[in-house]
């Protein structure tokens, strides 16, 4: 079998490999010099916010924080390559559809607003004004505003997102499907129930004081590389880092900090994880409950021996609700169930719990490995339960830290991209603008797809993103998009969602973060974003726009808004001329933005106050609230392990992609080169199937709805992963994720637990 695509894993994350990869990336982008100059302004007080991820910036943001992810994201945007009208004249949409995500985006930046011409099956350049007029007239012609979907991807600035939600609400709907629905929705839902605020409670500084950091279901080496710097400093100080991840991820094992000249020169590396536990997919709630069981047992033993309590009774008495019920639920959970569901031994769980109990200050971070399961919300609440036991919320060096994905996904929510808007927010909008706002709940991602499929939605507008490829059941969603009366995509580069035109379809090219946004009066415009630590800061690009025809997202939203709802309530072109005016409206309608325009211009921006971090609990009972539910009756993993050739599949990111944007075909931290159609699997599982590394197979989803879901022509990579759990890359595997499978209470597609089996490929 051909196994040439399987090679050596990097010995540590970061280091020279990361530098080399950056060099390559800058060369590929075609602008090594301006690329390098651009990088020096990433995450600097006078520069732009890196579009790479939502990790916080250090207080001492003086030197450029080197980050491979950031380099790639910046180089991707500041490329000299252009997807011009000539490209679209030379290729029909049908032809372009044959390209992979990788090939398509390699054409570079979009330069002209374009309209789809069904007669020739080609996109043709048009005038901005004509585009706005036609979009406005179709929107105005719908029977109901609820027949349109307004998607947001988490790169949109606070200003663009706020303007967008204002326009859409004045138009009359709360249909705001949002990438967050596929991402950290469960964190928001779970945390609001537990601690009264749907955001993390820590600041970056807390990582300097924590005695232990639990990293659950997250791969920062690839997805939040700057976080590794903070973990490394913590490890060097002697803080314990406990990882829960079914896969051994390189970045969590060892990291060479490119910032550290000595470590680079000596070829050294720092061990990150002190303890690396490999649970089965979806086994985290059981693992955390197991640790809570150990804590309660230790508490009983301490009391019996007349030793100090393990629990923080003062905190629990003053701040929490439901401890006794939680204790009863933990007592009722037996070790056999915990061990089977988590895939971890009691001994492993006990040693992790010991670290927790020995630490005065604990931070717990998590990402998609926790949020993209059926029972994610209760898992997050269990994490919160566990942290409450020793008062680890609302004190320095401790707290809950869901690490967000897109660089402004948290800010977009804050400024109103929400299909279930809080009543207080709608009240504030009504009071400030003097008009009624729609009060009925709108569509999230899955509801939007449902409405697009059954014909009750006729328009799709995307403020960034790649809806058709990021969502589950991509072939079905693509068909749904083609049935629309109107599709509009506001984007920087061409992607597959643009190639699924409705009857009328526009691709509208916008400025990216790295580009200067100059208004008619010649004044450079600042945008703002909020990171995972609720820091809001400014961002201004430094590059010349990729094309003179590009408009800012703010201006595009204003153009569509003016053509649709008119200037009766606000004057859209006035707002589009000056982002300060938009920020004045944000300040007037959303708490925490006092003196926005001034504070934004301070070096690190400002922090949005998090009540839970101050031990104020905006929950229904005014306390931090324990959840008391039983473990799930059965996880996908447990069901798969009953045999029948079934496996639990997770779909994750390679080291060379940004969501649906594929930068390259290598995943050097996992030792895979030049290939993305792979399945990571335990060697013993291969042996049991009489299969070997490199064997070609089709992957088939267990069907409960009569639909055949097959991912064709994948190859096996033996890997250090629990038996019965397998993994492969998104978006290629989105054909296998069923629309019908969603997280309880979060309605998030279950991208990390799909029940699949294998089919040998028929010889061609």
Ligand X SMILES: Nc1nc2c(c(=O)[nH]1)N[C@H]1C(S)=C(S)[C@@H](COP(=O)(O)OP(=O)(O)OC[C@H]3O[C@@H](n4cnc5c(=O)[nH]c(N)nc54)[C@H](O)[C@@H]3O)O[C@H]1N2
- Binding residues (CB under 6 A) for ligand X: these are 53, 69, 105, 153, 155, 179, 182-183, 216-219, 222-224, 244-247, 249, 279, 281-282, 284, 367-369, 372-373, 405-406, 463-467, 470, 490-493, 495, 510, 512-513, 553, 650-653, 657-661, 730, 733-734, 737, 751-752
Contact (CB, 8 A) for 714 and 678: yes
Q: How far is the CB of 529 from Mo ion (least distance, A)?
A: 15
Closer CB to ligand X, residue 362 or residue 426? 362
Q: How far is the CB of 639 from ligand X (least distance, A)?
A: 14
Gyration radius of the chain over CA positions: 25
φ, ψ dihedrals at 298, nearest 5°: -65, -35
Q: Which of ligand X, Mo ion, none lies near 610, with the C-beta cut-off 5 to 8 A by kind?
A: none
Secondary structure (3-state) at 108? coil
Residue 508 binds which one of ligand X, Mo ion, none, with CB within 5 to 8 A depending on kind?
A: none
Report the candidate in 743, 98, 757, 96 with the shortest Cα–Cα distance to residue 472: 743
Shortest Å distance, C-beta 83 to ligand X: 10
**Least distance (Å) between residue 535 CB and ligand X:** 17
293 versus 513: smaller Cβ distance to ligand X: 513
Nearest residue to the partner Mo ion, using Cβ: 405
CB of 3 to ligand X, least distance (A): 22
Kindly state the smallest distance separating residue 276's Cβ from ligand X, in Å.
11
Taking CB within 5 to 8 Å according to partner kind, which of Mo ion, ligand X, none is near residue 163? none
Residue 464 partner contact from ligand X, Mo ion, none using kind-dependent CB cut-offs of 5 to 8 Å: ligand X
DSSP 481: H
DSSP 3-state of 478: helix
- Considering the complex, what minimum distance in angstroms separates the CB of residue 66 from ligand X? 14
**222 touches, from Mo ion, ligand X, none (C-beta below 5 to 8 Å by class):** ligand X
Please state whether beta strands 320-321 and 624-625 pair in parallel, antiparallel, or not at all (unpaired). parallel
Choice between 221 and 405, CB closer to Mo ion:
405
For Mo ion, give the closer residue by CB, 158 or 660: 660
- Binding partner selected for residue 174 from Mo ion, ligand X, none, CB under the kind-specific 5 to 8 Å limit: none
Burial class (CB in 10 A: 0-12, 13-18, 19+), 92: middle
Please state the closest distance from residue 763 (CB atom) to ligand X, in A.
Answer: 30
Q: Are 726 and 607 in contact (CB under 8 A)?
A: no
Q: How many Å apart are CA 323 and CA 625, to the nearest integer?
A: 8
Alpha helices in 569-635 (DSSP H): 572-577, 579-589, 596-599
Phi, psi (degrees; rounded to nearest 5) at 189: -65, -50
Q: How many CA atoms lie within 13 A of 156 on its CB side?
A: 33
Taking the complex as a whole, how short is the minimal distance between the CB of residue 313 and ligand X, in angstroms?
Answer: 30
**CB 524, CB 498: distance < 8 Å:** no
- Helix/strand/coil for 292: helix
Residue with Cβ nearer ligand X (199 or 513): 513
Residue 492 partner contact from ligand X, Mo ion, none using kind-dependent CB cut-offs of 5 to 8 Å: ligand X
Q: Give contact residues for Mo ion (rule: CB under 5 A).
A: 183, 405
Assess contact for 7 and 54: CB atoms under 8 A: no
Nearer to ligand X, 223 or 589 (CB): 223
Judged by beta carbon distances under 5 to 8 A according to partner kind, the member of ligand X, Mo ion, none in contact with residue 219 is ligand X
Query: Residue 486 and residue 753: Cα distance in Å, rounded?
Result: 34
470 touches, from Mo ion, ligand X, none (C-beta below 5 to 8 Å by class): ligand X
Q: Which is nearer to ligand X, 319 or 375 (CB)?
A: 375
| CB nearer to ligand X: pick between 372 and 589 | 372
For the chain, how many helices (H) and strands (E)? 31, 29
Nearer to Mo ion, 343 or 405 (CB): 405
Residue 47's binding partner out of ligand X, Mo ion, none, with CB under 5 to 8 Å set by partner kind: none
Q: Running DSSP on this structure, what letter comes out for residue 179?
A: G
CB 707 → ligand X: shortest distance, Å? 16
Name residues whose C-beta falls within 8 Å of residue 660's C-beta, 6 or more positions apart in sequence: 101, 466, 469, 470, 495, 496, 730, 731
Cα separation, 668 vs 685, in Å, equals: 23
Q: How far apart are CA 324 and CA 87, in angstroms?
A: 66
d(CA 135, CA 137): 6
Question: Is the CB of 332 or the CB of 629 nearer to ligand X?
Answer: 629
């Amino acid at each position: 079998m051909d196994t040439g695509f399987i090679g050596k894993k990097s010995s540590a994350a970061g280091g020279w490999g990361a530098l080399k990869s950056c060099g390559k990336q800058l060369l590929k982008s075609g602008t090594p010099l301006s690329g390098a100059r651009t990088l020096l302004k990433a995450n600097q007080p006078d520069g732009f916010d890196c579009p790479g991820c939502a990790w916080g910036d250090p207080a001492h943001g003086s030197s450029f924080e080197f980050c491979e992810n950031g380099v790639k994201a910046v180089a991707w945007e500041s490329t000299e390559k252009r997807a011009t009208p000539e490209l679209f004249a030379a290729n029909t949409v049908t032809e372009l559809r044959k390209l992979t995500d990788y090939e398509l985006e390699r054409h570079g930046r979009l330069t002209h607003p374009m309209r789809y011409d069904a007669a020739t099956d080609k996109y043709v350049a048009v005038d901005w004004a004509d585009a706005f007029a036609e979009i406005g007239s179709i929107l105005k012609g719908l029977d109901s505003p609820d027949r349109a979907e307004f998607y947001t991807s988490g790169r949109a600035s606070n200003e663009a997102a706020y303007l967008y939600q204002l326009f859409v609400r004045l138009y009359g709907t709360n249909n705001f499907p949002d990438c967050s629905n596929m991402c950290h929705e469960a964190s928001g839902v779970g945390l609001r129930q537990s601690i009264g605020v749907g955001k993390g409670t820590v600041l970056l500084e807390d990582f300097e004081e924590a005695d232990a950091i639990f990293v659950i279901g997250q791969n920062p080496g690839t997805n939040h590389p700057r976080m590794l710097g903070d973990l490394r400093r913590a490890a060097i100080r002697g803080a314990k880092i406990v990882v829960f991840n079914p896969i051994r991820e390189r970045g969590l094992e060892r990291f060479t900090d490119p910032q550290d000249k000595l470590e680079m020169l000596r070829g050294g590396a720092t061990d990150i994880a002190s303890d690396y536990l490999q649970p089965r997919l979806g086994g985290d709630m059981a693992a955390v409950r197991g640790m809570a069981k150990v804590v309660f047992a230790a508490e009983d033993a301490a009391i019996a021996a007349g030793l100090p309590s393990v629990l923080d009774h003062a905190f629990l008495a003053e701040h929490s609700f439901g401890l006794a019920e939680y204790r009863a639920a933990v007592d009722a959970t037996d070790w056999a169930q915990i061990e089977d569901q988590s895939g971890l031994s009691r001994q492993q769980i006990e040693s992790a719990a010991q670290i927790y109990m020995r630490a005065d200050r604990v931070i717990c971070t998590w990402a998609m490995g926790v949020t993209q399961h059926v029972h994610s919300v209760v898992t997050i609440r269990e994490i919160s339960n566990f942290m409450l036991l020793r008062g680890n919320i609302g004190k320095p060096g401790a707290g809950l830290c869901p690490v967000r994905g897109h660089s402004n996904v948290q800010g977009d929510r804050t400024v109103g991209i929400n299909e279930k808007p809080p009543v207080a927010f709608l009240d504030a909008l009504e009071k400030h603008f003097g008009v009624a706002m729609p009060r009925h709940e709108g569509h999230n991602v899955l509801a939007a797809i449902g409405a697009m499929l059954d014909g009750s939605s006729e328009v799709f507008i995307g403020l960034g993103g790649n809806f058709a490829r990021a969502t589950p059941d991509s072939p079905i969603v693509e068909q749904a998009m083609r049935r629309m009366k109107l599709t509009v995509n506001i984007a920087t580069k061409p992607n597959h969602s643009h190639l699924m035109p409705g009857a009328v379809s526009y691709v509208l090219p916008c400025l990216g973060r790295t580009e200067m946004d100059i208004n008619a009066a010649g004044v450079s415009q600042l945008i703002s974003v909020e990171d995972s630590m609720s820091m809001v800061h400014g961002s201004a690009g430094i590059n010349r726009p990729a094309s003179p025809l590009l408009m800012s997202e703010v201006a595009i939203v204003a153009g569509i808004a003016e053509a649709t709802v008119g200037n009766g309530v606000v004057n859209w072109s006035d707002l589009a001329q000056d982002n300060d005016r938009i920020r004045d409206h944000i300040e007037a309608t959303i708490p925490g933005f006092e003196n926005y325009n001034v504070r934004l211009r301070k070096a690190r921006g400002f922090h949005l106050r998090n009540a839970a971090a101050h031990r104020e609990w905006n929950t229904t009972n005014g306390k931090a609230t324990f959840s008391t539910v039983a473990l799930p009756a059965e996880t996908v993993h447990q069901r798969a392990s009953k045999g029948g050739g079934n496996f639990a599949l997770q779909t994750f990111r390679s080291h060379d992609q940004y969501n649906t944007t594929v930068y390259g075909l290598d995943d050097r931290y996992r030792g895979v080169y030049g290939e993305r159609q792979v399945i990571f699997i335990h060697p013993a599982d291969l042996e049991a199937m009489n299969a070997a590394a490199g064997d070609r197979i089709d992957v088939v989803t267990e069907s409960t709805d009569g639909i055949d879901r097959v991912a064709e022509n994948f190859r096996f990579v033996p890997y250090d992963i629990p038996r019965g759990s397998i993994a492969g890359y998104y978006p290629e595997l989105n054909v296998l994720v069923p629309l019908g499978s969603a997280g309880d209470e979060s309605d998030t597609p279950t991208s990390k637990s799909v029940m699949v089996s294998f089919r040998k490929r028929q010889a061609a």
